[in-house]
Amino acid sequence: MFGTPIRKHCIKALGICTLVTLGLSVGIRAQAATPSSWATQEIKSAVEINLVTDTLVQDFQKKLTREAYVELLVKTYEASTNSIINIESVQNPFEDTDKAFILKAFEAGIASGITEKTFVPEALVTREQMVVMMVRMIKKIEDENQVQILTASKNSPEFNDQHVISSWARKSINLAVANTIVSGTGDENINPDGFSTSEQAIIMNYRVFERMLEEDLLKEEWQDRLENYEEDDTITLETAAAKIALAPPMQIKAIVTASILNLRSEPDLNNPNNIIGKLSSNEEVTIVSELDAWYQVKSNSQITGYVHKDYIQKYDPSQPVSDVRTQLVAYAKNFVGTRYRYGGTSLTGGVDCSGYTGQIFAKFGYALDRSSRGQGKNGVAIARNQLLPGDLVVYGYGGSISHVAIFIGNGQIIHSTSSYGVRITALDGYMREPIIGYRKVIF
């Protein structure tokens, strides 16, 4: 917890002496549900200074949605910096929302979509997602106000469920824990996959705001900005309405990379009774939505169901699909589980990293050097934003190449690891060695 409550620290200085009840606070139109006993005091303090939104106070113990949380962050950011995020020239990339505060969060880099075209405003927010968005907001405030709010720590926190934290959230969680923004759940776990509630979001946001206020890191007009947030938001939306045009509908396509892929009525691999169809290799499908490790897709025969992300590959319909790349990735996945063997070149008996990539590419007529050092110089160097499935990812230290992998899309690589053999892992975060290059071999 950051220091003492704002109510004791600053409300008196602002001339606000009347204590308000949660259900009758100024600026809160809806009758609020009762918060948990542990949350009551800090929520009162947050309500007193309008550091809440109408949506969140309708039910303090309700599960937190992306839309509700993003609005709180935008309100806090604009109050802290005495600014309004300009969205007049922003083209809305989302097909499922046109709310101004969501576009503001997107424009400011506080929140992004679930997919390129969907924000999924009603999706529930996990603890690790909440922390990541909070840290993004804080860093935006640091940049705008030219202050330092978060202090980095060399010591990473240790939790029993540390291994469950997503690689993309680990840095933000470590930073938040080091700055006492968030803590464990009381059983030496951080519970990154647990869903957050409205009261948890309000309190975490309040503690951050309290720290900024105590250390005089906010713009002086923060109180007026909080009180007038709804008016400012309406004005922004009205003036931007003519320019915030929904992007033309663009369907997200994907190609099946497995030889045969089951289409299921629900995202569950263990239920043999939920198979409603089968998709064939290289069949094109349309992605409807995304849920954890699954895509909901519509087949060419207009059947909608779920498929696991590991067996389809997204692509841009405006660009030609490379059958070679798609087939290479599908072929490479056939050997997941093959054991690691130093110097090995057998896709079934044992391979090392360069033996694996060399044999995969050889299947499609591409001759790579035998060593990872040599393969790190095959083809041509490309930038990360040019990376496509079927390109090589090179790892090492100080320019010295020690490992090579094949990029398969969706932030993942397939490679032969010394500990587990051939497996699919994240592009970032798995290898001890940093990425030192990307190579394009397929033209």
- Would you state the pLDDT for residue 433? 83
Identify the pLDDT of residue 321: 46
Which of 9, 17, 163, 415 is catalytic? The answer is 415
Max CA separation in the chain (angstroms): 78
**Res 28: pLDDT:** 37
Partners of 260 in the β-ladder? 280
Whole-structure pTM over 0.85, yes or no?
no
Contact between residue 60 and residue 32 where contact means Cβ atoms under 8 Å apart: yes
| Active-site position among 10, 17, 163, 403 | 403
pLDDT for the residue 6: 40
Strand-by-strand arrangement of the 412-417 sheet: 380-381, 435-440, 392-397, 400-409, 412-417, 421-426
Cα–Cα distances in Å, from 94 out to 66, 117, 132? 14, 5, 21
- Point out which residues pair with 308 in neighbouring strands: 294
CA distances 33 to 42, 194, 246, Å, are 15, 22, 36
Neighbours of 107 (CB within 10 A): 14
Domains and CATH numbers, the chain: 6-240 (no CATH), 252-318 (2.30.30.40), 324-440 (3.90.1720.10)
- Distances in Å between the alpha carbon of 347 and those of 30, 336, 367, 382? 63, 9, 16, 27
Nearby residues of 228 by Cβ (< 8 Å), 6 or more positions away: none
Catalytic residue among 10, 17, 163, 353: 353
**74 three-class SS:** helix
Per-residue tens of pLDDT for the chain, all 443 residues: 333 334 333 332 222 222 223 333 333 333 446 888 888 999 999 999 999 998 898 888 999 999 999 999 999 999 999 988 888 777 888 888 888 899 999 888 898 888 778 889 999 998 889 999 999 999 999 989 999 998 887 777 788 888 888 888 888 888 888 888 888 777 788 888 888 999 999 999 999 999 999 999 988 889 888 888 776 766 666 655 544 444 444 467 777 767 688 999 888 888 888 899 998 766 778 888 887 788 888 887 788 899 998 888 765 555 544 578 888 998 899 899 999 999 999 998 899 999 999 999 988 888 899 999 999 989 888 888 889 999 999 999 877 899 999 999 888 999 999 989 999 999 988 888 889 999 998 87
Q: Where are the alpha helices (DSSP H) in 158-294?
A: 167-178, 198-214, 222-227, 229-240
- Which residues have CB under 8 Å from 309's CB, separation 6+? 293, 294, 295, 410
Q: Is 415 a catalytic residue?
A: yes
The answer to whether 353 is a known catalytic residue is yes
Tell me the one-letter amino acid at 141: I
The whole-number pLDDT of residue 23 equals 34
User: What one-letter code names the amino acid at 356?
Assistant: Y
Torsion of CA 128, 132, 135, 136, to 10 degrees: -170
Is residue 208 a contact partner of residue 30, using CB atoms and an 8 Å limit?
no
Secondary structure (DSSP) of 140-164: HHHHHHT-------SSPP--TTGGG
